[in-house]
Chains A and B, each alone.
Chain A
Amino acid sequence: MAAATPIVFRPGATSVRATDDENFTWLDPLSDNTSGVAHEYSSPELFIPIDEEHASARPNSVLLGTVADRRLRVRKAIPLDVSAEEGNVIVSWGATDEFACGASMGDAIEEFSKTIGELFFDLNDQSIPLGRDLARVRDILNEHIEQVIIR
């Protein structure tokens, strides 16, 4: 029988090498070994165009394809409006009047996807009677999100 113990590591750190000297030797500042080559890099595979103008990466709308709950998956992408107000980014889903905000679009989407996941389970709880508006929201949610069958 095999046994294993999970180990949790702290996040790693990497460093940038100088590019003007093809033959330089990079010694790891944290290493006691001061005579060996610490790092070698193989040739790159893909060079990508850099956006020199640094256009905004925050669109006015985004299709959400994820829900922050492993028991759920997005069946049909959720259309979100993206706006900024007082230094916060707000994402909103007009059809359900749900919204969330964050410091960036990614933060706002993460918050929204948590909210929408909780709402899905709350509204699909058969023991809770729903009014007409909430039943409508539930139907919209069920059109876009489905529960994953965990095997």
Chain B
Amino acid sequence: MSNAPIPSVVAMLICQRVIVEQGTGMKSLIGVFENLNSFAFPAPVSVAVYAKLLDAEGNYDFLIRLVNLRDETKIADVEAKSFALTSATSSELVLNIAGLVLPEPGKYEFQLYANDAYLHRATMNAILIQGGPPWPQPRQ
């Protein structure tokens, strides 16, 4: 186990996309959501995870794990290894994920680990919706 102190997570959000502005480093969280509606499953999705960390000092291996909460099966692991962080500033973890397939409707959870220690989680609901407009809609 690393000797680096365990960071505190003060925010963790799921959204459609996080845009990081070059130069300023400002983050724009686009489409923060909790419910993900789909007309069919399995559903291919693009999601992003944002987390703000405090008190990180040293080298960290981060793991973001997506779990299907129906039976706590693992959907995917995303690892980010050997990040050198300093406690002089807060740290922001940004992950844009594409090509993710949610197998069924239900509740899903992103779990955040740093150096194997569980830090935080954020959940979302995948919902099968009926009816609605034709999909995809015909172009006009």
Q: Are A48 and B135 in contact (CB under 8 A)?
A: no
CA distance A41 to B17 in the complex (A): 9
Instruction: State the interface size on chain B (CB cutoff 8 A).
Output: 60
Given known contacts A47-B98, A56-B72, A106-B121, A73 and B6 CB-to-CB distance under 8 angstroms: yes
Q: Does A14 contact B (CB under 8 A)?
A: yes
Interface residues on chain A, number (Cβ under 8 Å): 51
Residue of B with least CB distance to A107:
B69
Interface membership of chain B positions 8-52, coded 1 if the CB is closer than 8 angstroms to chain A and 0 otherwise: 110000001100000000000001111111110001111000000
Tell me, yes or no, whether B111 is within 8 Å of chain A by CB: yes
B97 CB contact (under 8 Å) in A46, A58, A75, A103: A46
Chain A residues touching B, majority SS: loop
Interface check A134, CB cutoff 8 A: no
Q: Nearest Cβ in chain B — how far from A59, in angstroms?
A: 10
Stretch at the interface among A19-27, A93-101, A122-130, A135-143: A19-27
Q: Is the interface of B mostly helix, strand, loop or mixed?
A: strand
What residues of A have a CB within 8 angstroms of the CB of B5 in the complex? 75
From 30 to 89 in chain A, residues with beta carbon under 8 angstroms from any chain B beta carbon are: 34-35, 41-42, 44-51, 54-58, 62-66, 73-77, 89
Number of A-B contacts (CB under 8 A): 150
- Specify which chain A residues have a CB less than 8 angstroms from the CB of B118 in the assembled complex: 62-66, 109
Q: How far is the CA of A54 from the CA of B69 in the complex (A)?
A: 12
Residues of B within 8 A of A148 (CB): 8
CB contacts (< 8 Å) of B46 on chain A: these are 41, 44
Tell me how far the C-beta of B88 lies from the nearest C-beta in chain A, rounded to whole angstroms: 14
Cβ contacts B91-112/A at 8 Å (1 or 0 each): 0000111111101000001010
Question: Which residues of B are in contact with A by a Cβ distance under 8 Å?
Answer: 1, 5-9, 16-17, 31-39, 43-46, 55, 65, 67-69, 71-78, 95-101, 103, 109, 111, 113-114, 116-121, 123, 132-133, 135-137, 139-140
Task: Give chain A's interface residues, CB within 8 Å of chain B.
Answer: 11-19, 21, 23-27, 29, 34-35, 41-42, 44-51, 54-58, 62-66, 73-77, 89, 103-106, 109-110, 148
Can you list 5 A-B contacts with CB-CB less than 8 angstroms, sorted by A residue number? A16-B45, A51-B74, A66-B9, A77-B117, A89-B72
